[in-house]
Structure 1
Amino acid sequence: MSEATLPPPRRHGRLVVRLLLLAAVFFAFGFALVPLYDTLCAAVGFNGKTLKDAIDAKDLPPAAVNYNRKLGVQFTSTLMPGLPWEIRPLEPAIEIHPGELRTTRFLVRNLSDKTIVGQAVPSVSPTVAARHFRKLDCFCFKQQTLAPGESREMALTFIIDGDIGDEISELTLAYAFFPAPNPS
């Protein structure tokens, strides 16, 4: 092939700019997915998120406790790396009647030699039960600060709606504890 028959060199500058813009859009979309996912999960009660994390007792309809039925509720907790705490439910499992108001406690202890702020993130399973699990008061509503060696009992007051389906006989409330990224 002679030099006269070679195609002219192509300019790829415009293509490179478009690809970089597309990468930037995907990067921004990835950051937007986290709050969008949390909002969607809270709205539909998916992935163990409860529909309303904080409700007031006066907003509850008159309780119709179903004494003919009992539900088993288990409590678990997980500590994420970087949080030198010890946490355990004082009642790992309870039985409750649908519509019954109940309070349980978790014991938390800071094992380090410095003050640490942590945050609990709840999850209910099976996920269909999350829309029926109502927390009236929970340590997960705000960040918790523990001084070195400090121990504290933290309360959870909740109710499980009486209209929870008959197919649900047990549920689990799990807390994942994280070091607070921006202690307030």
Structure 2
Amino acid sequence: MSTQDDPRQQATRRTLRRMLFVTVGMFGFGFAMVPFYNVFCDITGLNGKTADGPAQTLQESRIDSDRTVTVEFIANLNQAMPWEFRPEVNKMQVQPGKAYTVRFYAHNNSGREVVAHAVPSVAPGLAAKHFHKTECFCFTEQRFGADEGRWMPVRFMVDPELSDKHNELTLSYTFFDTGARTAAAPKGLEAVHPSTQTN
């Protein structure tokens, strides 16, 4: 009886070992794919991510005056943040190669100090690598006191290399409450109170 069970037990152990190796391999492959995916998205812009820091100084040397691109601006809040967050304008007609500035207004209605971080995204995703920002409140965390409001500028340029099939772009920001309380106050931004804000 034992001679008949031994081959079966050995076969079972081999199968279990193989399944274990496959399972471990799948987990390892999944973890390894994360950095590869991030690099791929950074190169192709497929996920709509924009650069984490400012682009080089924008030089208006190759303005495509024969073409206009519509840029739509969207402001979102995450984590049910009791804030006001909106763009100064909803849409803007821009010429590729020319630098523009748009402002976003944020107001902290939470009744407490909040440190927040804005995450940008450009759609369609393939156009993200052609959307350049030299100034943006998204580059650093922003500290807002209770009942503080602020206009925050974004200086950007659409690359003339943007494909002709992309005539409409969407720049969206989502504000997150980071839960931190120690971010440095932003420099060069106009702090305003709702009673004194102007468009």
Give the TM-score category using the shorter length.
Answer: 0.7 to 0.9
Could you state the TM-score of these two structures normalised by the residue count of structure 1? 0.79
Aligned residues: 180
Q: 1:17 to 1:117 in 2, by over 3 A?
A: farther
Equivalent-residue separation in structure 2 for 1:13 and 1:120 (angstroms): 52
Structure 1 unaligned regions, length at least 5: none
Q: Does 1:178 align with 2:176?
A: yes
Contact 2:83 2:109 in 1 (8 A): yes
Equivalent-residue separation in structure 2 for 1:17 and 1:85 (angstroms): 54
Equivalent-residue separation in structure 2 for 1:34 and 1:119 (angstroms): 23
Contact 2:114 2:180 in 1 (8 A): no
> 1:149 matched to which residue of 2?
147
Equivalent-residue separation in structure 2 for 1:161 and 1:144 (angstroms): 28
> 2:121 matched to which residue of 1?
123
SS of equivalent to 1:130? helix
Give me the CA root mean square deviation.
Answer: 2.9
Q: Percent identity?
A: 36
Q: 1:36 to 1:153 in 2, by over 3 A?
A: farther
Equivalent-residue separation in structure 1 for 2:29 and 2:76 (angstroms): 29
Q: Does 1:72 align with 2:70?
A: yes
Equivalent-residue separation in structure 2 for 1:181 and 1:14 (angstroms): 50
Contact 2:44 2:126 in 1 (8 A): no
| Segment drifting more, 171-180 vs 6-15 | 6-15
Contact 2:71 2:92 in 1 (8 A): yes
How far has the Cα of 1:16 moved from its partner?
Answer: 6.2
SS of equivalent to 2:5? coil
Contact 1:45 1:51 in 2 (8 A): no
| Segment drifting more, 75-84 vs 146-155 | 75-84
Q: 1:5 to 1:46 in 2, by over 3 A?
A: closer
How far has the Cα of 1:138 moved from its partner?
Answer: 0.8
Equivalent-residue separation in structure 1 for 2:20 and 2:113 (angstroms): 44
